Structure 1
Amino acid sequence: MINENRTIEVRAASWIPSVYFAMGLPFVVIAQASALMYKNMGISDAKIALWTSLIMLPWSLKPLWSPILEMFGSQKQFVVATQLFTGVTFVLLAFTLPLDDFFKYSIALLGLIAFSGATHDIAVDGVYINTLTPAQQSKYIGWQGAAYNIAKIVSGGGFVFIAGELEKQVGVVTAWMSVMGLYGVCMVLLGLYHIKFLPKIQNANDKVKSFKEGVDVLFDVVKTFFNKKFVMWYVFFIILYRFAEGFAIKIAPLFFKASIEEGGLGLDTSEIGLIYGTFGAASFIAGSLLGGYYTSKIGLKKSLFKQALMFNIPFAVYALLAFFQPENLWIISLAIVFEYFGYGFGFVALILFMMQQITPGKYKTAHYAFASGIMNLGFLLPSMMSGYLSDWLGYQMFFIWVLIATIPALLAAKLVPFSNKTND
């Protein structure tokens, strides 16, 4: 058994970072990078926030089709297929940007990418949960979070920097066509890599042989999910944990891009990419890794509230930036270092909470998909409202509101009960 576990751990190192990088890339493109692209192409903040949030709905609805996926293939097959599909769709999206109705067509294709990405997430989490023991899940949760966060940095940092530099040379449209093409190439290469390195496991639900049986399983998944002890506590907790983030993450890059006269920081696209892709990258990864090891060392029950604080309180930097509007790039970068470190450190606690407190039972993969769908709903709803709210309040008062929105998350983290033992 020891040798078998050691073999699993060795193999896990070859696919966990890459597969969670592939999970994060399309999500962050839609949640963040696309907002800058549309801002530079003349779309209003309110329209950007609404539509780039609305098309993220598949990440909340994915439990509806998770029980029937295994009728059509293994979890590995779905991981590879969705990565390839997402890559091709990014390339198609690039060709829509010069069109007169580019917003309509590109949003539709981003919607397809969102559906593919949500399906990909179900399969990836299924491989992770069904391959690794609870102890190994805790050990690798930091690496999982780091890889996901690297995708955020590559997307919102490195590729945005490239787009900003290209904008100066070839114009906005051609620049973002090139970057969307790069996203596509990355996803295709990841799909080809995982054909070889991703483990193939036995499907967790061999009983599903027809659509009717899949629907029956779905009802059983929902029933058994809501029969779990403390489940309503858990639903409120996972919705509230990312509530403030939902408001902040969509508006932050738009705030950086807006002129000083509009209440923003007046940065150009490449400066935004540079901040996220350098200082933000290092702090994000460090926060994720340290958060994973910290949770593993003292136990989730003891660490949860502290990590919730680390996740939410750093959003204060945006309020400070909005009030003082510093022009020094180092000061702005330092603020992002603090916020990204806290984000990485605190996010791993939420993921591990869902794995250890919600998923145990008959339908581990489906219940995790259900929980993560609810979590994304908590992110989606405030994100949809964020553009209208920031237009109404202005950036200063909007980021004060973000701080107020952290209070329910902190209360929930302090009071949420535990039904399953952790490594306390």
Structure 2
Amino acid sequence: NSATHDIAADGVYVNALNNLEQAKYVGWQGAFYNVAKVLSQGALVYIAGKLELTIGVVEAWMVVMGIIGAILLLMSLYHYKVLPTGGSSTSVKNVKEAMATFWEVVKLFFEKKYIIWGIAFIILFRTAEGQLTKIVPLFMRADRIDGGLGLLTSDIGIAYGIFGATAFVLGSILGGYFVAKRGLKNSIFILAIIFNLPDAVYTYLAITVPESFTIICAAISVEWFGYGFGFVGVILFMMQQIAPGPYKMAHYAFATAIMNLGFMLPSMVSGFISDYLGYKNFFIWVMIATIPSFLVAWFVPFKDVIKDPVAE
């Protein structure tokens, strides 16, 4: 469901906006795109943490899941009323024609100029993030004697729901306007640096293991600002460097799937690596794992974008 929704939502940006408009507004898209993630890790976790103390763990999470269901229902009604239809689409008459179209889409995707570089970029850009993201919640809750921060569920909810959410929205919006002003090609390496700020933040937290909740909240703010600001880069790269041409939506969907593969595969092994190395050494390893993303951001070639002020 999430993948289908993402492609449809991103299609508005791919088909309806030029490159300058994409850069200006993709930050807003990124902000709202990740509100659900921040909400689920912040406000709803805080509510669950408080309810656990009064009605029990199972009942607390039943209430939270009910809230999530109500939100989804309301949003579906809102989308049904306000979103554009997207116009008519070309239909296929039979399975044979559908398969022929599919293989044509695949063929044209891999014939794109610099496509190997593009695939390498969208895979490696999120490799370190994929490892970090899955271990951070465990690190937050682990006892201090085990190298964690020993936070309560409600504390994590406050840190992410207030500080993380605010920083992410700010980072996403500023990242979009930053690229709109400089152009994607001139911004991509800076975006890669800022996107990997969270890796340095958690390395610091794992080494120092601070007791101050203020320091932890500040670190989480830097984390989410970096994600919001830097994630603009990979989204715009897929929109402007990979999607253009015939079958824009299909090729953007391919790129998104490949990007998520670059996130999910490192996530799958992150637990084994963390158990083997321990939190401190794991986060140091993640810092090392950022090197490929910097290299590919520096060397990735860009196709010329005709009559587009962003590309100049």
TM-score (norm 2): 0.95
Superimposed CA distance per residue, residues 240-263 of structure 1 (whole angstroms, 9 cap, x where no aligned partner): 000000000011011101111221
Q: State the distance in 1 between where 2:163 and 2:36 align.
A: 15
Alignment of 1:284-303 (within 5 A): 284-303=168-187
Moved over 6 A (4+): none
Please report how far the alpha carbon of residue 322 of structure 1 lies from its aligned counterpart in structure 2 after TM superposition: 1.1
Superimposed CA distance per residue, residues 58-89 of structure 1 (whole angstroms, 9 cap, x where no aligned partner): xxxxxxxxxxxxxxxxxxxxxxxxxxxxxxxx
Task: Quote the RMSD (CA, aligned, Å).
Answer: 1.3
Please report how far the alpha carbon of residue 389 of structure 1 lies from its aligned counterpart in structure 2 after TM superposition: 1.2
Q: Are the aligned partners of 2:45 and 2:157 in contact in 1 as well (CA < 8 Å)?
A: yes
Please report how far the alpha carbon of residue 226 of structure 1 lies from its aligned counterpart in structure 2 after TM superposition: 0.3
Structure 2 partner of 1:172: 57
Superimposed CA distance per residue, residues 183-229 of structure 1 (whole angstroms, 9 cap, x where no aligned partner): 1111111100011100112244x042333322222211110000000
List runs of 5+ in structure 1 lacking aligned partners. Answer: 1-115
Alignment of 1:308-387 (within 5 A): 308-387=192-271
Q: Which amino acid aligns with 2:270?
A: S
Q: State the distance in 2 between where 1:272 and 1:213 align.
A: 52
Structure 2 partner of 1:162: 47
Q: State the distance in 2 between where 1:140 and 1:370 align.
A: 22
Please report how far the alpha carbon of residue 151 of structure 1 lies from its aligned counterpart in structure 2 after TM superposition: 2.1
Q: Which has the higher contact order (CA 8 A, sep 6+)?
A: 2
Of residues 230, 254, 257, the one that matches 2:138 is 254
Structure 1 partner of 2:30: 145
Q: Are the aligned partners of 1:131 and 1:201 in contact in 2 as well (CA < 8 Å)?
A: no
Q: Which amino acid aligns with 1:405?
A: A
Alignment of 1:22-421 (within 5 A): 116-204=1-89, 206-421=90-305
Superimposed CA distance per residue, residues 315-362 of structure 1 (whole angstroms, 9 cap, x where no aligned partner): 111111111111110010111111111111100111011100000000
Q: Are the aligned partners of 1:167 and 1:175 in contact in 2 as well (CA < 8 Å)?
A: yes
Q: Which amino acid aligns with 2:203?
A: A
Q: State the distance in 2 between where 1:181 and 1:215 align.
A: 41
List runs of 5+ in structure 2 lacking aligned partners. Answer: none
Q: Are the aligned partners of 2:123 and 2:261 in contact in 1 as well (CA < 8 Å)?
A: yes
Aligned length: 308
Q: Secondary structure at the match of 2:144?
A: coil
Q: Which amino acid aligns with 1:178?
A: V
Q: State the distance in 1 between where 2:67 and 2:94 align.
A: 39
Q: State the distance in 2 between where 1:417 and 1:149 align.
A: 29
Q: Are the aligned partners of 1:283 and 1:341 in contact in 2 as well (CA < 8 Å)?
A: yes
Q: 1:167 to 1:219 in 2, by over 3 A?
A: same
TM-score (norm 1): 0.71
Tell me the percent identity.
Answer: 57
Q: Are the aligned partners of 2:31 and 2:168 in contact in 1 as well (CA < 8 Å)?
A: yes
Please report how far the alpha carbon of residue 280 of structure 1 lies from its aligned counterpart in structure 2 after TM superposition: 1.0
Q: Which amino acid aligns with 1:201?
A: G
